[in-house]
A and B are shown apart, each in its own frame.
Chain A
Amino acid sequence: MEKPKVKKVNWKKELRLAPGYIILLLWVLFTFVLLGWVFGASLSTTPEIFKGNALKFESGLHFENYAKAWSGSNVSEFFVNSLVYATISCVVLILVCAPAAYVLSRYTFKLNKLIQTGFASAMGVPAVMVILPLFSMIASMGILNNVTLNRITLVLLYIGINVPYTTIFLMTFFSNISRTYEEAAAIDGCPPMKTFWKIMFPMAQTGLVTVTIFNFINVWNEYFLSLIFASSDKLRSVAVGLYGMINSMKYTGDWAGMFAAVVIVFLPTFILYIFLSEKIIGGVTGGIKG
């Protein structure tokens, strides 16, 4: 968690960890073979894939698969759209859900159980049953006829459908923090709300970062909501835009192109994941130790 320091290798320690290394290496190797195949297939040709030669590259590397996948649709616009949707919703989700999760996990009051149960059941209702009625309601209000309003609606919905998940996820992280911190703060005369933002919020950092990563990926990959609600091409998210491409490659039998499209979809999420987890966890948790 701390910034990597140049440390002398403690061989005794490393030896004890050897079984761990072996297990991890085996799994990583397995992952590499599998994902390597996907990546290899994206640079291969369809006949080679289905003859079982995806990784032999007998006819060379086919970067044109990527060119084809990229040029097919307005990819950069989809990217910007998704980035905006995902960033705004992730930030708002944390600001909305962290306080709620804190209160739900810390205080007992009449509606607490009811709210928790409501959130839990909301997670169990299949998305179709939520999204289609909402669509009928919102569409008949005429909101979708204006691009800006439509965009705002989309972001609000992304936030809304992830509220129960984020809240329930975060509850554990607050309930596991010892109450002594608040008690100490109270003695020092710090008001509870300030205590939350100054002390509890930073202490739940790992949970906040983890759930933000999940939320980001959820929104980035979200398909059904944007399919139904993005009434114009200008509003389309990456998932809808590029999954369309994946489908069209499938229907025209261009499997190599499909894998290239897949890599294009997943690469930004992966880079952002590394960015988010490494930079934020690395920069923050080091500073706050109980």
Chain B
Amino acid sequence: MKKNKPMIILFLTPAVLFFLVVFLYPILRTILMSFFHITSITDGIGEWTFRGLSNYINLFQTSLFRQSCWNLFRIWLYGGIIVLSLSLLFGVILTSGIRFKKVFRAIIYLPNIVSAVALATMWLQYVYSPKFGLLKSFFTALHLDSLAKIQWLDNDHKFYALLFAYCFGMVGYHMLIWCSGIERISPEYYEAATIDGAGKFAQFRFITRPLLKGVFKTNVTMWTVTSMAFFVWSQLFSTVTADTQTIVPTSYLYIKMFGAGNTVTDRDAGVSAAIGVILALVVVLVFTACNKLIKDDDLEF
């Protein structure tokens, strides 16, 4: 398309201006901080001690930080597969011309806007409860006693308990993104296909999938961003002291920045900054990879 300089400048300036004011200084400062030892994030530059790359090196030598990265990776990968496929399934069903679509859509999205504090409490104290939990009663009713006996929150199961609880809340969000992508595909295609006798699967394969690449990219980017910021659920699943199964880099960052639990430990905002830089790099990496791997096709529809 023909370039239109004034338009590019006019359209971009406000967004870029906001970005520069709100993000540029903090990001540059964070990058700079990651090379120093800093007790408090608000300390002036005069109080910083230069450390070179040692913040990064130490981080990767700390087994707890590696564990936190591993947890995050598992959340991103397993959770991503669960959430994106479930939400796509729902999105496809919802847009296939079924009745009560709006009701279904609203209910599936609902958990995403309920405060995490409530949802986490609900999962921890109700669903997973080994005394009167939903899972326990469900499996007992089915006479699956070995499953009913599982303590879902012990060390072996805690991570998956957390993962599933988190995914439950996220499905609705990604379903909306899928829906908004699919809805731009004219519904007549589906109507016609359904009446012509094309099964759901065929419809998906020949109509939906090719048209959804861009939305898939958005979904992956958004999933990556939200999982990088994964924090609240980790805190809620391990109150007061961090837990090996639920710790993620952001909670480690928090410990380094504000001190751990109830004991006053050494604080180092420089290490926190290094974690921030690492997380940002990961997002950029995934973003670029997505852009490279999934080329937007200029499809006509």
Asked if B11 and A124 make an inter-chain contact with CB atoms under 8 angstroms apart, the answer reads no
* Interface segment, one of A69-77, A80-88, A144-152, A262-270: A262-270
Asked if A221 and B1 make an inter-chain contact with CB atoms under 8 angstroms apart, the answer reads no
Chain A residues whose CB sits within 8 angstroms of the CB of B126 once the complex forms: 37, 41, 54
Q: Indicate if B16 sits at the interface (CB-CB under 8 A).
A: yes
Count, A-B residue pairs, CB within 8 A:
288
Rounded to whole angstroms, the CA-CA distance of A148 and B31 in the bound complex is 33
Q: Indicate if B122 sits at the interface (CB-CB under 8 A).
A: yes
Asked if A289 and B186 make an inter-chain contact with CB atoms under 8 angstroms apart, the answer reads yes
* Interface segment, one of B74-82, B111-119, B146-154: B111-119
Chain A residues whose CB sits within 8 angstroms of the CB of B114 once the complex forms: 35, 38, 262, 266
Chain B residues whose CB sits within 8 angstroms of the CB of A206 once the complex forms: 179-181, 183-184
Chain A residues with CB under 8 Å of chain B are: 1, 13-14, 16-17, 19-21, 23-24, 27-28, 31-35, 37-38, 41, 49-52, 54, 95-97, 99-100, 102-104, 106-107, 109, 115-134, 136-137, 156-157, 159-161, 163-165, 167-169, 172-173, 175-176, 178-180, 182, 192-193, 196, 203, 206-207, 209-210, 213-214, 217, 221, 243, 246, 255, 258-259, 262, 265-266, 269-270, 273-274, 277-278, 281, 285, 289-290
Most B CB contacts (10 A, CB to CB) among A96, A117, A120, A274 go to A120
Residue of B nearest to A223 (CB): B232
Asked if A16 and B199 make an inter-chain contact with CB atoms under 8 angstroms apart, the answer reads yes
Asked if A163 and B106 make an inter-chain contact with CB atoms under 8 angstroms apart, the answer reads no
Given contacts A121-B283, A160-B18, A273-B109, contact A172 B218 (CB under 8 A): yes
Q: Indicate if B12 sits at the interface (CB-CB under 8 A).
A: yes
Asked if A127 and B229 make an inter-chain contact with CB atoms under 8 angstroms apart, the answer reads yes
Q: Indicate if B142 sits at the interface (CB-CB under 8 A).
A: no
Report the minimal beta-carbon distance from A144 to chain B, rounded to whole angstroms: 15
Asked if A172 and B214 make an inter-chain contact with CB atoms under 8 angstroms apart, the answer reads yes
Residue of A nearest to B118 (CB): A262
Asked if B200 and A168 make an inter-chain contact with CB atoms under 8 angstroms apart, the answer reads no
Residue of B nearest to A52 (CB): B132
Chain B interfacial residues counted at CB < 8 A:
105
Residue of A nearest to B134 (CB): A33
Asked if B176 and A96 make an inter-chain contact with CB atoms under 8 angstroms apart, the answer reads no
* Interface segment, one of B19-27, B51-59, B65-73: B19-27
Most B CB contacts (10 A, CB to CB) among A32, A121, A136 go to A121
Asked if A31 and B107 make an inter-chain contact with CB atoms under 8 angstroms apart, the answer reads yes
Given contacts A24-B90, A137-B25, A160-B21, contact A120 B287 (CB under 8 A): yes
Asked if B93 and A34 make an inter-chain contact with CB atoms under 8 angstroms apart, the answer reads no
Rounded to whole angstroms, the CA-CA distance of A175 and B214 in the bound complex is 8
Q: Indicate if B246 sits at the interface (CB-CB under 8 A).
A: no
Asked if A246 and B117 make an inter-chain contact with CB atoms under 8 angstroms apart, the answer reads yes
Q: Indicate if B46 sits at the interface (CB-CB under 8 A).
A: no
Chain B residues with CB under 8 Å of chain A are: 1, 3-4, 7-8, 10-12, 14-16, 18-19, 21-23, 25-27, 29-30, 41-42, 89-90, 93-94, 96-99, 102, 104-115, 117-119, 121-122, 125-127, 129, 131-132, 134, 168, 173, 176-177, 179-181, 183-184, 186-187, 194-195, 199-200, 211, 214-215, 217-218, 221-222, 225, 228-229, 231, 250, 253-254, 257, 272-273, 275-277, 279-284, 287-288, 291, 296, 298-301
Chain B residues whose CB sits within 8 angstroms of the CB of A172 once the complex forms: 181, 214-215, 217-218, 296
Given contacts A103-B12, A176-B214, contact A133 B41 (CB under 8 A): yes
Given contacts A109-B3, A273-B106, contact A100 B12 (CB under 8 A): yes
Given contacts A182-B1, A210-B177, contact A124 B282 (CB under 8 A): yes
Rounded to whole angstroms, the CA-CA distance of A26 and B172 in the bound complex is 15
Asked if B222 and A169 make an inter-chain contact with CB atoms under 8 angstroms apart, the answer reads yes
Given contacts A20-B200, A125-B26, A221-B115, 14 further A-B contacts (CB under 8 A): A13-B195, A23-B89, A23-B93, A31-B107, A50-B125, A96-B14, A115-B19, A124-B279, A125-B27, A126-B276, A130-B30, A176-B296, A243-B117, A273-B113
Given contacts A16-B194, A52-B131, contact A21 B98 (CB under 8 A): yes
Asked if B118 and A132 make an inter-chain contact with CB atoms under 8 angstroms apart, the answer reads no
User: Which label, helix, strand, loop or mixed, suits the secondary structure of the A interface?
Assistant: helix
Chain B residues whose CB sits within 8 angstroms of the CB of A221 once the complex forms: 113, 115
Rounded to whole angstroms, the CA-CA distance of A28 and B26 in the bound complex is 42
Rounded to whole angstroms, the CA-CA distance of A1 and B94 in the bound complex is 11
Residue of A nearest to B297 (CB): A176
Asked if B4 and A192 make an inter-chain contact with CB atoms under 8 angstroms apart, the answer reads yes
Rounded to whole angstroms, the CA-CA distance of A96 and B179 in the bound complex is 24
Asked if B1 and A107 make an inter-chain contact with CB atoms under 8 angstroms apart, the answer reads yes
Asked if B90 and A13 make an inter-chain contact with CB atoms under 8 angstroms apart, the answer reads no
Set B127, B218, B276, B281: member contacting A34, Cβ < 8 A: B127
Asked if A122 and B19 make an inter-chain contact with CB atoms under 8 angstroms apart, the answer reads yes
A-B contact pairs, 17 of them (CB 8 A): A16-B200, A17-B98, A21-B98, A51-B132, A96-B14, A99-B12, A124-B228, A125-B279, A136-B42, A160-B21, A160-B23, A178-B300, A180-B300, A193-B10, A246-B118, A270-B110, A277-B106
Asked if A20 and B176 make an inter-chain contact with CB atoms under 8 angstroms apart, the answer reads no
Given contacts A24-B104, A172-B215, contact A123 B283 (CB under 8 A): yes
Residue of B nearest to A176 (CB): B214
Chain B residues whose CB sits within 8 angstroms of the CB of A193 once the complex forms: 7, 10
List the 7 closest pairs (A to B, CB-CB), nearest first.
Answer: A52-B132, A124-B283, A160-B22, A99-B11, A124-B280, A100-B15, A262-B118
Rounded to whole angstroms, the CA-CA distance of A16 and B4 in the bound complex is 49
Asked if B14 and A100 make an inter-chain contact with CB atoms under 8 angstroms apart, the answer reads yes
